[in-house]
Amino acid sequence: MSTTIKNPVEWGWDQIARAASAIGSAGPALHHIQDTMHSPAPTVRRIGVNDVKDALLQGLDDFGAFRSDVVFLCIVYPVVGLIFSQFIFGNEMMPLLFPIASGFALVGPFAALGLYEMSRRRERGLPVSWLHAFDVVRAPAFGAIAVLGLALVALFLLWLTAAWGIYRVTLGPELPTSISAFASDIVTTQEGWTMIAAGIGVGFVFALVAMTISIASFPLLVDRDVGLDTAIRTSIKVVTENPGPMAVWGMVVAGSLALGSIPFFIGLIVVMPTLGHATWHLYRKTVAR
């Protein structure tokens, strides 16, 4: 039996290379990124924990307003998760099932682009349907959005690589024979508890980086034609100016995604759109118009 995972990482990096090549061939988009570099940064506000709660409530309200439309859009997340984790790569993916599930926190801000646009339109009193979610591709800053999205996908793949390395030096290098045996090894052996502790620690670092560079940058790029560097700097400032509320937000996201992933990622149908809409409202609270 093979003791290495080749498909996920190699396949993923290959897709990133192709996407990067496609962006590289899109001259106007790249020129626009260069033209908007160092654009003026918006003012960042300080918020409290109650603002995080209010953003969540507003996100839930948006989800209620777009019930069928958002479910139609976001059902792709659990389906892709199931296909990616089990049916494409088979049993070799078993040690990475939890890292893949938790990885939604890394790529979620990019995946929620359409939800930001829907919330933006509703906020302005404009008509909203699921088709409007795709208007984001016509945003002036879409080139910057694509580049930042590729960065998050690369971060996700690095997390999977790190998670596989942690497994190999703890419970590996042999692959688990079954899900039940794998679960038993995790909770009943010292190596399993070491894997859990290391995974949580390393995963926290990846999640912190992803949140810091993306919590406000994607909504800002959807909302305004600003530079990629400006969007990232603004997002970093949002986190550094509001460490307490952002820590609460991070715990809410992690807990919601964990609950939404059980069983079989089905709960993500509700969790992902709610968090996506709430992210837009959190952006509105932290970044002045």
3-state SS, 109-146, equals HHHCHHHHHHHHHHHCCCCCCHHHHHHHHHCCCHHHHH
CB 95 within 8 A of CB 185: no
CB 273 within 8 A of CB 86: no
In whole angstroms, what is the distance from residue 122 CA to residue 58 CA? 11
When pLDDT is averaged across residues 126-141 and rounded to a whole number, the result is 78
Confidence of residue 111 (pLDDT cuts 50, 70, 90): confident
Confidence of residue 88 (pLDDT cuts 50, 70, 90): very low
Residue 31 in tokens:
């020129």
pTM (predicted TM-score): 0.80
In whole angstroms, what is the distance from residue 159 CA to residue 100 CA? 9
Of the candidate ranges 43-57, 147-161, 218-232, 262-276, the one whose mean pLDDT is the lowest: 262-276
Q: Does the N-terminal peptide bond of residue 243 adopt cis geometry, omega within 30 degrees of 0? A: no
When pLDDT is averaged across residues 102-112 and rounded to a whole number, the result is 83
pLDDT at position 84 over 70: no
Confidence of residue 81 (pLDDT cuts 50, 70, 90): low
CB 126 within 8 A of CB 234: no
pLDDT of residue 219: 95
Q: Does the N-terminal peptide bond of residue 173 adopt cis geometry, omega within 30 degrees of 0? A: yes
pLDDT of residue 4: 44
Task: Reduce the DSSP state of residue 260 to 3 states and report it.
Answer: helix
Confidence of residue 76 (pLDDT cuts 50, 70, 90): low
Percent of the chain with pLDDT over 70: 77
pLDDT at position 15 over 70: no
pLDDT at position 286 over 90: yes
pLDDT of residue 240: 96
Residue 136 in tokens:
């984001």
pLDDT of residue 245: 96
pLDDT at position 175 over 70: yes
Between residues 116 and 27, the one the model is more confident about = 116
In whole angstroms, what is the distance from residue 274 CA to residue 269 CA? 9
C-alpha 132: how far from chain center? 21
Of the candidate ranges 24-28, 157-161, 261-265, the one whose mean pLDDT is the lowest: 24-28
How many CB atoms lie under 10 A from the CB of residue 288? 9
